Chain A
Amino acid sequence: MPWNKYIELRCKHYGYCLDYHEEKRKKESREAHKCSKKAKKMISLKAKLYHKQGHAEKIQMKKTIKMHEKRNTNKQKQKKNAEKIPQGAVPACLLDREGQSQAKVLSNMIKQKRKEKAGKGEVPLPKVRAYGETEVLKVIRTGKRKKAAWKRLVTNVCFVGDGFTRIPPKYERFIRPMGLRFKKNPPALPPLLHPLHLSGFLSIFYSVLRYHIFLEAFSDVS
């Protein structure tokens, strides 16, 4: 590329060639065909880099076109300026007051944990809590020497969808017994006062009340 404008100066002094402008126009119009020919003929790494460049350019072009389409009209400006109504409406008496501070929340949590540990105010109601693997799954040993222990038997209720089909038993990692497969949650039963006296059948329904754990673990494909 020339560093000074001597070419332009020369053209200014002596004028352009007679068909210069026409040739220029035609050459520019052939650019598209040339690019396309090049793109078709290129292969391997060279082609990859070339197409990557072209793709990036295309994306940029699309963005600018979209930007130009969304011109800032008056209505759009108004819409932008319209405040979004914040959530958490409170009456006027509570407006100037901040809610519970973070420190208060933490200290309350600590106090609650301490009370729970001390066993104060405990009621004989079943607690809802997270259950560990050992409580819900039972290890099944398979193989000739009963050495492989990758299968698990689910001891709690599972909720299966309508189109549930077992994975081929040989490859099944989680075995769900037929009796423990449910589609719907049975209606909530009143809290049982003497859980120790449950028959085997009722105990299944009791465990249904604690169904929410481990659903995520079983939603995968074993």
Chain B
Amino acid sequence: EDPLPLAFFVHDAEIVSSLGKTLESQAVETEKVLDIIYQPQAVFRVRAVTRCTSSLDGHSEAVISVAFSPTGKYLASGSGDTTVRFWDLSTETPHFTCKGHRHWVLSISWSPDGKKLASGCKNGQILLWDPSTGKQVGRTLAGHSKWITGLSWEPLHANPECRYVASSSKDGSVRIWDTTAGRCERILTGHTQSVTCLRWGGDGLLYSASQDRTIKVWRAHDGVLCRTLQGHGHWVNTMALSTDYALRTGAFEPAEASVNAQDLQGSLQELKERALSRYNLVRGHGPERLVSGSDDFTLFLWSPAEDKKPLTRMTGHQALINQVLFSPDSRIVASASFDKSIKLWDGRTGKYLGSLRGHVAAVYQIAWSADSRLLVSGSSDSTLKVWDVKAQKLAMDLPGHADEVYAVDWSPDGQRVASGGKDKCLRIWRR
């Protein structure tokens, strides 16, 4: 059997060459017992993407959102021409064009079992699509008065049927929809301004970040407000949960991915168990951690299930923060900002690890590879850059887009990166 790859740390410094060399730089008393902490790394290794295999035309307006399905089998993109398009990944050609929205498709979200896609538009409507036929599933979920800023499905281990989806909107409310019945189950109001980000946690809590500088924690099953996390000085733009990746991929294990992506197999009970075991593994012993990035150039690390005071405040950025993401193993937090840099922070303590500089304009979106070793970022300067996180260096520079890159996603099986932007073109990058 292959040995499990481990990384060893002495006093937060990683042992790269030998223990002696690492200790030279540190002041260590020779009579004390030294603690060497080991962290298991992902067994599989994702290779950096190097080339653009296809540039897919089809959208007649800018591509705003791009998402791979949890198993990496399907690719969906939403655009300003009000259509959602599905792309066939084996031939890299268009698969389906889904018309139904009447305004820009702002956010798309896959259900954790990969069988449904929810898309929200600027008119406040949510439609559900079936990726295998390209047809709309169920009714149009209308209820929001302004545009949809975020969509989040209930985790697979909580409900393997993937029935409920939550949506946040500019009108300041969060709605929980029942997709099988096609109606709004619950409306969570409380925010005074637009809700910018929404996350459905694995513990049955719903987190919503808003422009009124607060983050509200709700109980998902009855809609009761548990906590309000205050501390930011300006709009809270983005949020990330430590278990985000596990919730997104559900029962799919990236280590077991094959070249040809398949749908999830197994009965609902099996899927639920697998998802639950993956979730518990990523979560660890403590509660879920939440990182929020804001317009006041800082990030906060919270433990929302326990306390309403933040764990740490992470400062250092010189412009507003557009996106924060936990790595799939929840050890590192990456924050993309308009100051052209991406900063890496420790996922447990919030300590600053390093900066990734290279972009020449605002960084809009980032995506982690499934093994947490690589990070891809799309920016306003029309390039994508793949970063090696361990060395904190640029691994690959991917030019090719003609205009700003708005959306980036790395497929959970690690094979492809999809990016879309203002030049109306969707590009797929492979090794």
Contact = CB atoms under 8 A, between A and B. Distances in A.
Interface of A: 83, 85, 87-96
B65 interface: yes
A7 B280 CA distance: 104
Nearest to B295: A97
Nearest to B101: A85
B106 A96 contact: no
Contacts of B323: 93
Interface residues of B, number: 30
Contacts of A93: 196, 237-238, 322-323, 364
A32 B150 CA distance: 71
B364 A89 contact: no
A95 B147 contact: yes
Interface stretch (B6-14, B20-28, B75-83, B261-269): B75-83
A88 B106 CA distance: 13
Contacts of B64: 89-92
A92 B238 contact: no
B102 A91 contact: no
Q: From A83, A89, A93, A96, name the one whose CB has the most chain B CB atoms within 10 angstroms.
A: A89
A142 B103 CA distance: 66
B241 interface: no
B102 A83 contact: yes
Contact of A91 (B82, B106, B235): B106
B279 interface: no
Contacts of B62: 88-90
B104 A85 contact: yes
A97 to B, nearest CB: 9
Given A85-B104, A92-B64, 7 more contacts: A89-B79, A89-B81, A91-B65, A92-B150, A92-B196, A93-B364, A96-B194
B211 interface: yes
26 contacts: A83-B103, A85-B61, A85-B80, A85-B81, A89-B64, A89-B79, A89-B104, A90-B64, A91-B64, A91-B106, A91-B364, A91-B365, A92-B64, A92-B106, A92-B107, A92-B148, A92-B149, A92-B196, A93-B322, A93-B323, A93-B364, A95-B147, A95-B170, A96-B170, A96-B194, A96-B211
Nearest to B193: A96
Tell me if A's interface is mostly helix, strand, loop or mixed: loop
Contact of B61 (A87, A91, A96): A87
Nearest to B406: A91
Contacts of A96: 170, 194, 211, 235
B334 interface: no
B80 A89 contact: yes
Nearest to B424: A89
B246 interface: no
B407 interface: yes
Contacts of A91: 64-65, 106, 364-365, 406-407
Interface string B342-372: 0000000000000000000000110000000
A90 B406 contact: yes
Interface in B130-170: 147-150, 170
Nearest to A89: B80
A90 B106 CA distance: 8
A87 B122 CA distance: 13
B35 to A, nearest CB: 41
A92 B103 CA distance: 13
A83 B82 CA distance: 12
A54 to B, nearest CB: 49
Nearest to B420: A91
Interface string B83-124: 000000000000000000011101100000000000000000
A48 B211 CA distance: 70
A26 to B, nearest CB: 61
B322 A85 contact: no
A85 B106 contact: no
Contacts of A85: 61, 80-82, 102-104
A85 B147 CA distance: 14
B216 to A, nearest CB: 19
A88 B365 CA distance: 18
A94 B379 CA distance: 13
A100 B107 CA distance: 24
Contacts of A92: 64, 106-107, 147-150, 196
Contacts of B170: 95-96
A91 B149 CA distance: 9
A93 to B, nearest CB: 6
Interface in B167-187: 170
A101 to B, nearest CB: 15
Contacts of A89: 61-62, 64, 79-81, 104
Contacts of B365: 91
A90 B79 CA distance: 9
Nearest 10 interchain pairs by C-beta: A89-B80, A89-B62, A92-B106, A89-B104, A91-B64, A92-B149, A91-B406, A89-B61, A93-B322, A89-B64
A95 B189 CA distance: 22
Contacts of B194: 96
Interface string B402-429: 0000110000000000000000000000
A88 B107 CA distance: 16
Contacts of A94: 364, 406
Contacts of B82: 85
Contacts of B406: 90-91, 94
